[in-house]
Structure 1
Amino acid sequence: MTFKLLIVDDEPLAHQVLLHHLQAHPDLQLVAQCYSAAEAMAVLAQQPIDLILLDIQLPVLTGLQMLKLLAKPPQVILVTAYAEYALDGFALDVTDYLLKPVSGERLALALDKVRRRAGLPAPVTTPAAAGGNEHIVLKVDRELRRFDLASICCFEGYGNYVKVWQGQQMTLASSTLKALMEQTAAAGFIQVHKSFLVNPSHVLSLDSQLLKLSNLQQIRIGEAFKAQARRIFTPR
């Protein structure tokens, strides 16, 4: 089954983040991108939609107000920066409630719920860091901790430590960037600065100076690493 999808958010960057994550889900067909509830209502009146990724804070009419106007709403995943509307959302029978910035891993879990509600099994997905190990074990404080490579946006060197960035969450681990380069090379991680090792699957955009990650982090590309950075969007 292919799910016909509508994205409704008044922030263009939010659309960009969602579109990036949705590349990993070929069973979703994007029908339209809307920036207000009025635009979304017009699309819904013209054609069937199976799923809406819906922001709450929209101009004129909020996402929750829009849902109340729909006689037979499709499945809805609320995507918002505000946690306080969760109870109101679930009272309207939304499938899931995601807080911005949305990680690819969290969106995938929500989409699995969509498929289950539709009576379909969740597909077997390939991790974003495919091609090598799916996990890495690092020492955090006094314990060893396993990290899912697909969820890691980047590693940031910090002396004899590294900052492991998973969305907005940062974990300080005992390692060096050089050691991580060797451990994550097979998974496709690329060094773009003397202090940054990035997961190409989380790169939204890049130019000659900066790249932007799915957690909205911006990293300056080092002069010595510009050729490597260009490989991120080069087909293999």
Structure 2
Amino acid sequence: MLKTLIIDDEPLAHQVIKHHLQGCNDISVLASCYNATEALRYLAQQQVDLLLLDINMPALSGIELLRVLHNRPAVIIISAYKEYAIEGFELDVVDYLVKPVSSERLFAALNKLRRRLVAVKSATEPYIVLKVDREQRKFLLNDISLLEAYGNYVKVWQHQQMTLVNSTLKRLLQQLPSQQFVQVHKSFVVNKDKVLAADSEQLRLDGDQLIKVGKLYKQRLISFL
């Protein structure tokens, strides 16, 4: 969920942006500010992930606001003026939209931001490279909830999406950090961070997957819950 702050001195602009964002389930508009000074006060108290920022505002412009922010979140500029685009991109804004903004153009900018965030996440989070068909593919360890044996293959579950990889469960388990992944059945290895609940017979994982616990693994289960 991207915590978002809208900064624009025109109330109608706030209404339009909020209307466009109604279909974006990963965007949470925390507040609306109507000038840069008000925004600075808000940002001193609240961390946000994204600014939807106007340029031409009284007292302090959007560009000037960005220059004084130390821990700058991602920024999408939405302005009636094209001439500030170069300055905006020099400040590493995600995109520069010219009013009036359509929902399609705003969605394109948000998708650009999502791609940037995925790239950053992929570069910094631990991962494993596994063979899928004839290609080598990267899997972020924190996204994996379950590994399920499937003959000479393994079903890798991520956010309820399954990918079949060319490996045995035993060989794959040897490549994973034992402090994060544990075998709970001859056919199942779980990410401990994805376990929501457990009893003596089964686990419930993030996404409501129910996983049977093998008799030989019950003592191991107790040790990490």
Interval of TM-score (by shorter of Structure 1 and Structure 2): 0.5 to 0.7
Identify the residue that residue 99 of structure 1 maps to in structure 2: 98
Which position in structure 2 is the counterpart of 1:66? 65
**What do the CA deviations read for 1:55-106 (whole angstroms, capped 9, x no partner)?**
0001100000000001120000000000111000000000000000000000
Query: Which residue does 2:24 correspond to in 1?
Result: 25
Q: How big is the shift at 1:116?
A: 1.2
Secondary structure at the counterpart of residue 118 of structure 2? coil
The one-letter code matched in structure 2 to 1:65 is: E
Match of 1:3 in 2: 2
Q: Any idea what the Cα deviations from partners look like across 1:24-76, whole Å, max 9, x if unmatched? A: 10100111100000111111111110000000001100000000001120000
What residue number does 2:192 align with? none
Q: TM-score, normalised by structure 2?
A: 0.52
Rounded Cα–Cα distance in structure 1 between residues aligned with 2:46 and 2:10: 24
Alignment coverage as a number of residue pairs: 120
1:15 Cα offset (Å): 0.5
Tell me the equivalent position of 2:81. 82
Letter in 1 for 2:44: A
Percent of aligned positions that are identical: 56
Which amino acid counterpart does residue 53 of structure 1 have in structure 2? L
Runs (4+) of structure 1 exceeding 3 A deviation are: none
Paired position in structure 2 for 1:49: 48
Q: Supply the RMSD in Å over aligned alpha carbons.
A: 1.3
**Distance in 1 between the 2:21 and 2:65 partners?**
24
Question: 5 Å matches for 1:145-164?
Answer: none
Counting only pairs closer than 5 Å after superposition, residues 124-203 of structure 1 correspond to structure 2 as: none
Q: What code does the residue aligned with 1:38 have?
A: T
Letter in 2 for 1:105: E
Q: Do structure 1's residue 111 and structure 2's residue 105 form an aligned pair?
A: no
1:85 counterpart SS class: helix
In the alignment, which residue of structure 1 is the partner of 2:35? 36
- How many angstroms apart in 2 are the aligned matches of 1:90 and 1:48? 22
Deviation at 1:117, TM superposition (A): 1.5
Letter in 2 for 1:32: A
- The match for 2:12 is 13
Aligned partners of 2:87, 2:19: CA distance in 1, in Å?
Answer: 28
Unaligned runs of 5+ in 1: 121-236
Any idea what SS the aligned residue of 1:118 has? helix
CA positional deviation for 1:114: 1.2
Specify the SS of the correspondent of 2:23.
coil
In structure 1, give the amino acid aligned to 2:5: L
The separation in 2 between residues aligned to 1:43 and 1:27, in whole angstroms, is 21
The separation in 2 between residues aligned to 1:106 and 1:95, in whole angstroms, is 13
- Distance of 2:24 and 2:67 partners within structure 1: 28
> Larger Rg: 1 or 2?
2
Q: Give the alignment's TM-score, normalised by structure 1.
A: 0.50
